[in-house]
């Protein structure tokens, strides 16, 4: 026992319990059921926690989608108008002036272009949202304890919801161009599902990279623009590169953005046959989805305890 005299008062302090003497900090924490705040859970436990937040993920994505154009007079109309206006601009420049639709009639090229713009925008916006998923929501990350992967997954789901609004216009464009509903249209569902898994994976990768390097958000528009031009959004890759070495066209056609665009084009457009698709296209599409979906999830999970710190 020790006594401390100050102004006539006496304070008594007792030594630590002899039972806990000699215990290492880790053993002491385990004895009393203490755990490190913000520690990364195991991978399967992390998946379970993420699944338990599924209602938050859906509600958060819907709220972000509604708020996106809340200040505009036309409101949610811009969800469809923005990619449609982009398609119109690209048609004027590439379709009419540069003749990028060579080898295709207007009844094929117009839905070809619109499909490319809509589907690529799905991936582009998922990547851009992923870059800012952590760095742009630090207040939420630091205030609440939840699986941080909820944010990039939610933003990717938001972009999927926006694409589904745009699909109404895409279907209308296809029908006006002479492509009517058929059994092949059902292939759009697995194609977009695989693209969504791919988008979630790449959004998770970019979320971790953007959390550490916020300046990445300034660089990504240039990277995405290059990717767009290299993916055949506005033109047929084999036709444009017929005078170049064959391996160049193969590399561009097998990149994931081109794969998912061509699958949706094949499903919706009557005049866009299987001869326009690379070999084993569905296997490649599934491979990209699994590689980036699983790999991106593990890569993001590895840094779970570091998000929002420093």
Q: Is the dihedral of CA 13, 18, 19, 25 positive or negative?
A: positive
Residue 70: per-residue pLDDT: 66
Q: Which residues contact 21 (CB under 8 A, 6 or more apart)?
A: none
The answer to whether 210 and 133 are in contact (CB under 8 A) is yes
Angle of helix 106-131 relative to helix 188-212, nearest 10 degrees, comes to 30
Q: Would you call 190 helix, strand, or coil by DSSP?
A: helix
d(CA 238, CA 269): 18
CA distances from 227 to 45, 143, 224 (A): 36, 36, 5
Residues 269, 179: Cα–Cα separation, whole Å = 6
- The predicted pLDDT at position 30 comes to 61
CB 156 within 8 A of CB 192: no
Token pair for 211: 């959390």
Check residue 2 and give its pLDDT: 47
Torsions phi, psi of 142, nearest 5? Answer: -80, -20
Quick one: pLDDT at residue 28? 58
Q: What pLDDT is stored for residue 197 in this prediction?
A: 97
- Helix then strand count (H, E) for the chain reads 13, 2
Global pTM? 0.84
Can you list the residues of the chain whose pLDDT is less than 50? 1-2, 4
What per-residue confidence (pLDDT) applies to 29? 59
């Amino acid at each position: 026992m020790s006594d401390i005299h100050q102004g006539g008062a006496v304070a008594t302090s007792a030594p630590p319990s002899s039972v806990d003497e000699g215990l290492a900090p880790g053993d002491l924490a385990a004895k009393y059921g203490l755990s490190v705040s913000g520690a990364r859970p195991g991978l399967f436990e992390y998946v379970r926690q993420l699944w338990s937040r599924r209602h938050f993920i859906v509600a958060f994505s819907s709220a972000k989608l509604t708020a996106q154009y809340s200040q505009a007079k036309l409101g949610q109309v811009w969800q469809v108008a923005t990619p449609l206006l982009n398609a119109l601009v690209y048609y004027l420049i590439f379709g009419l002036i540069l003749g990028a639709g060579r080898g295709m009639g207007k009844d094929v090229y117009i839905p070809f272009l619109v499909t490319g713009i809509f589907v690529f925008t799905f991936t582009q916006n998922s990547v851009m949202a992923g870059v800012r998923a952590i760095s742009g929501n630090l207040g939420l990350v630091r205030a609440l304890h939840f699986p941080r992967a909820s944010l990039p997954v939610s933003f990717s789901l938001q972009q999927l919801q926006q694409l589904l609004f745009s699909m109404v216009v895409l279907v209308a464009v296809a029908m006006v161009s002479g492509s009517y509903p058929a059994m092949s249209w059902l292939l759009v569902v697995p194609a977009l599902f695989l693209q969504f898994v791919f988008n979630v994976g790449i959004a998770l990768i970019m979320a971790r990279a953007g959390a550490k390097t916020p300046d990445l958000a300034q660089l990504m528009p240039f990277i995405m623009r290059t990717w767009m031009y290299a993916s055949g959004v506005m033109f047929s890759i084999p036709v444009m590169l017929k005078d170049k070495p064959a391996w160049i066209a193969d590399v561009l056609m097998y990149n994931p953005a081109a794969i998912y665009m061509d699958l949706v084009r094949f499903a919706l457009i009557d005049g866009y046959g299987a001869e326009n698709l690379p070999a084993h296209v569905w296997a490649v599409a599934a491979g990209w989805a699994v590689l980036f979906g699983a790999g991106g999830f593990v890569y993001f999970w590895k840094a779970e305890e570091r998000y929002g710190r420093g």
